[in-house]
Amino acid sequence: MSRIIAENSGGGHVLDAATGNGTPVCETSFDFTKLPSMPFLLSFNHLTYSVKVGRKMPLLTGGGRTKTLLNGISGVARDGEILAVLGASGSGKSTLIDALANRISKGSLKGNITLNDEVVESRVLKSISAYVMQHDLLFPMLTVEETLMFAAEFRLPRTMSKSKKRTRVQALIDQLGLRNATETVIGDEGHRGVSGGERRRVSIGVNIIHDPIILFLDEPTSGLDSTSAFMIPSYRILGLLDRLIILSNGQTVYTGLPTNLSLYFSEFGYSIPKKENKTEFALDLIWELEGSPEGTKSLIEFNKKWQSKNSELVRLCSSLKEAISVSISKGKLVSTSTAMVPRFANSFWKEILVLSNRSILNSRRMPELFVTRLVAVLVTGFILATILGFYACTDTLPVLLHERYIFMRETAYNSYKRSSYVISNALVVLPGLIILSFAFTTITFWAIGLNGGFSGFLYYLLIIFASFWSGSSLVTFLSGIIPHLMLGYPIVVAILECFLLFSGFFINRDRIPAYWIWFHYLSVIKYPYEAVLHNEFDNSTECFMRGIQLFDDTPLVTIPNAMKVRLLQSFSDVLGTKITSSTCFSRGVDILRNQGITDLSKWDCLFITLAWGFFFRILFYFSLLFGSKNKRT
């Protein structure tokens, strides 16, 4: 197993390239039999990466400046070794890791990265590698064993039996020292769970469950508590390392063996005291040089000369495809097949099933989330009756934004397809939406006294469900394009308010300006609102206003009925039309016509509302496809 670790004096970033053991399958024409052979050799040469640093007023200042994060970085990660990348904050450690892990767009990154002298395709790299992020993104209400078991379902081959996957999980639990926390939930701010160190080990276990050939880790020790971190002497960590790369402002100031640090800095003119930690001395010296007028330029040039006379040779290995096949046959990727690893471990329907089971299990242990939504729906039902029920859908935004980052971590290395996640998400929310719709409908239909009888109640239930479905889908789509919760709520509420304003409830459709009428038809609230009106008033035989009711909502409403009848008789004499207290002045179709609701039937409104929900789910898929690649530009 080959590891590359990047650390600074206050903590570290780790890039762990884990490779299998094997024998070389080809040689050059030279006699390199005495040189070490490498089944896998990850090489990177002259990596350069720059970004535009924006300014507050680019139009007045001529645009932003360019900042170089990596400047000609070269090195190798060898099979069976640990390579640590050290440097102060901002030196380029994480950027280098992202570059090697294919998390930077190819157009932005200059230089070349090869595995066994071959450029690795993104699809192949995702299949044979894993990346442990700096932050532990896990489902809070799953236990340690369940978290690892779901990871096994995603990453282990579909041909492996359930019992073998469980055996692999149990072995990994023992390997990571998590046996005492097996049945403990991960936990979060509101739920007590595993410790920080255990949480970090679970994050690592999730990514090594399939025994990847290459493993990248970003700050693997960041989860340790302060006591544990203090009790781990730096010299012990140094004893685990095989090679070092030390960076300063995106450039290499040392590459080589940790044991050569003393000789290296002695020849540079700075001897390391015998009892002082070598890496701490090196980082302190580099920090001092960075503060000097000339910076680390002299050390960078010295490193180039040092490398030219201390470079090492290794025997070239087999082709990448052959090396992967040999590694798989020896147990890597937990497979018995010698063929190239597939892009995804499971079938499309298997992914949906596993994703759904995980979401349901996590949600079932957090009933407060559903209860909150249910209470919001009930209160909204009592107060607003219908259309503002959309606002209950915003409660799902925090959950979706949390899952979004877990999704990015898992799909970055092909745990499952994006389409599987989208369909699973839709299936999981459906039962909750049905319950919320029934609760909302039961309260509002009978409390308000809506018409239509039982058939009207059933249709009202359908349109309320459709409105919740489209509202939930809208929020789900927005969670795919909104990066932060602080931005999420204002944006979602603002969009729903605009939809409500142009739905026809506050402003009649005929009174909306022509240049805004297009927004009326885009309003998701328009269609359930019109559907409810159709369900209530779409009856040509029922009268909703008779003669004597003309005086309602006027100052004459308090006069005796006999006086109202005489006034109606006077109106008849003047207009020449017989008007009595029972004469019908307004039927349902008249009310719909006055509201400008005549172009669509109630069933059209129902189907369009449902269609909006599916449309937003499709947009959600594309937002994940193009906007959640977890790469730097």
pLDDT tens for residues 353-389?
999 988 888 888 877 666 766 666 666 555 544 444 4
Amino acid in position 312 = E
Give me the long-range contacts of 306-312 (CB less than 8 A, separation at least 24). Answer: 306/256, 306/264, 306/267, 307/255, 307/256, 310/256, 310/260
The answer to whether 479 touches 397, Cβ cutoff 8 Å, is: yes
- Rounded Cα gap, residues 375 and 440, in angstroms: 10
Amino acid in position 331 = G
Amino acid in position 568 = L
Q: Which residues of the chain have pLDDT under 50?
A: 1, 8-36, 57-60, 225-233, 334-339, 384-389, 391
- Rounded Cα gap, residues 404 and 438, in angstroms: 29
Q: Give the burial class of 455: count Cβ atoms within 10 A of its Cβ; 0-12 exposed, 13-18 middle, 19 or more buried.
A: exposed
For the chain, state the CA radius of gyration.
34
How many residues are listed for the chain in this entry? 633
Q: What angle do CA 166, 167, 172 make, to 5 degrees?
A: 95
Phi, psi of 619 (to 5 degrees): -60, -35
Q: Which two tokens stand for residue 544?
A: 């909703």
Amino acid in position 431 = P
- Rounded Cα gap, residues 2 and 13, in angstroms: 16
The answer to whether 456 touches 448, Cβ cutoff 8 Å, is: no
394: Cβ–Cβ under 8 A, 6 or more apart, which residues?
475, 489, 492, 493, 496
DSSP reduced 3-state for 516? helix
Helix (H), strand (E) at residue 280: helix 278-290
Q: What is the pLDDT at residue 278?
A: 85
Relative to beta strand 251-256, strand 584-587 is unpaired
Nearest residue to 129 (alpha-carbon basis) of 213, 220, 219, 218: 213
- Rounded Cα gap, residues 503 and 563, in angstroms: 41
